[in-house]
Structure 1
């Protein structure tokens, strides 16, 4: 059995190499709208390297809400010689990782951002997740975009400005972010936000981003219990996320960097011996 959790930036593959040994590797993100021949070649090589052709695979990814997206991912994985058992959203994986068959509310904050309620079997309500162009408040992309705005408005300390310029190799930032992979470069600025999170202008970016996550993702859910989280941004900005949510009246539950290992263990326990 192979479990894959895929976000906008990377995907993590977990599988048994022997009955008692779990292996994993990370590779490019597999978004339905961004599956390319280059990605297929990379993954084909990894599938062969790890000798997992013909294995059953459960895929949980960003952008997999529609039937069309599921069909596209299924075809992509089958082209790698894998037997697809399920294609579900990454939010469903987050729910399984935290709750198993119990109820709860969860948020994913990574390259993108989304929140949902889970009834123990299925996602019954989902909010935000409008994508980086008009939504995803609190996400890595959103944080990067807000940081760039402050850069261009000359509202950042010199050390932060220099780090951003170094990140872009002193090239034209506006030109670079409008190239095909510009979204990933903007999301990557979250690493600079983490490094300088104590600088007041950067801290205000983080708090405003997570406050907007409450406004657009959590408030519509009507959450009355703790909110649990999955995602690298939620994990690395736990202090700022907690600060913003508590100001908005929410209680932060457990925060996991990724769901894939918990899902692997859960599905393994569900499988017949």
Structure 2
């Protein structure tokens, strides 16, 4: 029996698999070793994951996570898991999870559009080219965090209609000062900004909202995807933002001369097939 984890900054999807069949699925908080200590990650595994797994014996853990692209971070997450599960453990990036989940054993361009964004060229086994996403302050174009950042910036700088500004502040039930506090002083501002996505989804009919999202997706394609051989490869995309905004994403791809392949919300089904 193996345990496969797909972890973003917001949530972690753990799938217990036996001979290629899903046995159990468990969700815990997101894991990112850039923002969390080994102790915090270990506590989430010990207190939330393990009680739900019961007494099942796990032979291998394949953990794919945000922030797991550096040896020291891989070691940190490995130790946190090993404190609770005695098994073969492999830790890799969430980008590799997306590539394997989208492309399987075939080469292609794989992308993530969720709380954060990322992209790569994948040769069927490993990532061979990757444009650094740079996080939601310097990059992460098209991500939930950046869409939220752009929305808040437009609202607080009066770039939306007064009616839309009033509607936003009323629905999030926060003052401008409280929003600034959430972004600059409280932990995980990327999660807070991405949590504003439901407002964007509910107001896609507003021209200013449609334009904001379209321009951010086009920036994602220009600044990331167009650095790969996109003319000869379809672009596969995974993540909640890609899935819920797929009509505008398709429009942005057409305007950018990009051929889209698969758009799905989670890589887990593909990862289960890959590890079978």
- What TM-score comes out, normalization by structure 1 length? 0.91
Quick one: which of 233, 248, 273 aligns to 1:265? 273
Which stretch shows the higher mean deviation, 8-17 or 131-140? Answer: 8-17
Map residues 188-203 of structure 1 onto 2, 5 A cutoff.
188-203=195-210
Instruction: State the shift of 1:67 in Å.
Output: 0.7
Other structure's SS at 1:250 match: coil
Map residues 164-175 of structure 1 onto 2, 5 A cutoff.
164-170=169-175, 172-175=178-181
After superposition, the C-alpha distances for 1:182-214 in whole angstroms (9 at most, x for unaligned) are 221111112211111121111111011101101
Distance 1:18 1:210 in 2: 38
Is this contact kept in 2: 1:53–1:80, CA < 8 A? no
Distance 1:259 1:154 in 2: 38
- Superposition RMSD on alpha carbons, in Å? 2.1
Distance 1:19 1:114 in 2: 28
Distance 2:191 2:102 in 1: 27
Instruction: State the shift of 1:52 in Å.
Output: 5.7
Alignment pair present for 1:44 and 2:52: no
- What TM-score comes out, normalization by structure 2 length? 0.90
- Provide the residue aligned with 1:27 in structure 2: 28
Quick one: which of 200, 208, 212 aligns to 2:215? 208
Map residues 108-127 of structure 1 onto 2, 5 A cutoff.
108-127=112-131
Instruction: State the shift of 1:117 in Å.
Output: 0.6
Distance 2:129 2:43 in 1: 36
After superposition, the C-alpha distances for 1:193-246 in whole angstroms (9 at most, x for unaligned) are 111112111111101110110111111113122101111111111011111111
- Provide the residue aligned with 1:251 in structure 2: 259
Quick one: which of 183, 193, 204 aligns to 1:177? 183
Alignment pair present for 1:223 and 2:230: yes
Alignment pair present for 1:60 and 2:64: yes
Is this contact kept in 2: 1:59–1:87, CA < 8 A? yes
Alignment pair present for 1:86 and 2:90: yes
Is this contact kept in 2: 1:14–1:261, CA < 8 A? no
Instruction: State the shift of 1:164 in Å.
Output: 4.1
Map residues 150-169 of structure 1 onto 2, 5 A cutoff.
150-157=154-161, 158-159=163-164, 161-169=166-174
Gaps of 5+ in 2: none
Other structure's SS at 1:87 match: strand
Distance 1:133 1:217 in 2: 16
Gaps of 5+ in 1: 269-273
Distance 1:168 1:83 in 2: 46
How many residues align structurally?
268
Other structure's SS at 2:257 match: coil
Is this contact kept in 2: 1:107–1:113, CA < 8 A? yes
Quick one: which of 150, 157, 170 aligns to 1:146? 150
Instruction: State the shift of 1:103 in Å.
Output: 0.9
